[in-house]
A and B are shown apart, each in its own frame.
Chain A
Amino acid sequence: MIPRPFELHSPSTLSEATSLLKNVDDSKALAGGQSLVPLMKLRLVSPANIVDLGKIPGLSYIREGKNRLVIGSMTTHNEVASSPVINKRCETLSEAASKIGDQQVRNRGTIGGTICHADPAGDVPAAVVALDAEFKVVGHHHRRVIKARDFFEDIFTTSLGRDEILTEVRVPVLSPRSGGAYLKLGRGASDLATVGVAAVVTLDNAGACKDARLGLAGVGSTPIRATRAEDVLKGQTPSDDLVAEAGEKASEMSNPSSDIRGSAEYKREMVKVYVRRAIRQSLARI
Chain B
Amino acid sequence: MSSPKQIDLTVNGQKYSGRAEPRTLLTHFLRDELGLTGTHIGCIVGKCGACTIILNGKAVKSCLLFASQVEGSDILTVEGLAKGSQLHPIQEAFWEHHGLQCGYCTPGMLMATYDLLKRNPHPTEAEIREGITGNLCMCTGYVNIVKAVKAAAEKMAPSPKMRPGEPTPRAGKRKTPSRPVR
Contact residues of A with B, CB < 8 Å? 1-8, 10, 30, 33-34, 37-38, 40-42, 48, 50, 52, 54, 78, 87, 91, 95, 101-105, 107-108, 183, 189-190, 273-274, 276-278, 280-281, 284-285
Contacts and interface: CB of A to CB of B under 8 A. Distances in A.
A30 B23 CA distance: 13
B92 to A, nearest CB: 23
Given A4-B23, A50-B22, A189-B134, A104 B49 contact: yes
Given A107-B60, A108-B64, A281-B181, A33 B69 contact: yes
B180 A183 contact: yes
24 contacts: A1-B45, A1-B63, A2-B28, A4-B23, A38-B45, A50-B22, A54-B69, A101-B134, A103-B116, A103-B131, A103-B133, A103-B134, A104-B49, A104-B52, A104-B60, A108-B60, A108-B65, A183-B180, A273-B182, A277-B180, A277-B182, A278-B180, A280-B182, A281-B181
B2 A107 contact: no
Across chains A and B, which 9 residue pairs bring their CB atoms closest together, nearest first?
A: A102-B134, A8-B22, A189-B133, A277-B180, A5-B2, A1-B44, A107-B58, A104-B134, A102-B133
Interface residues of B, number: 38
Contact of A37 (B66, B134, B182): B66
Nearest to B5: A8
A192 to B, nearest CB: 12
Contact of A5 (B1, B58, B61, B65): B1
A284 B23 CA distance: 49
A6 B131 contact: no
Contacts, number: 111
Nearest to A7: B1
A104 B44 contact: no
Contacts of B65: 33, 37, 108
Given A6-B2, A107-B60, A37 B46 contact: yes
A284 B59 contact: no
Contacts of B147: none
Interface of B: 1-2, 21-25, 28, 44-47, 49, 52, 55, 58-61, 63-66, 68-69, 112, 115-116, 131, 133-135, 175-176, 178, 180-182
Given A102-B134, A103-B134, A190-B133, A280 B181 contact: yes
Given A41-B45, A104-B134, 8 more contacts: A1-B44, A2-B23, A8-B2, A8-B22, A30-B69, A95-B178, A107-B59, A189-B134
A217 to B, nearest CB: 15
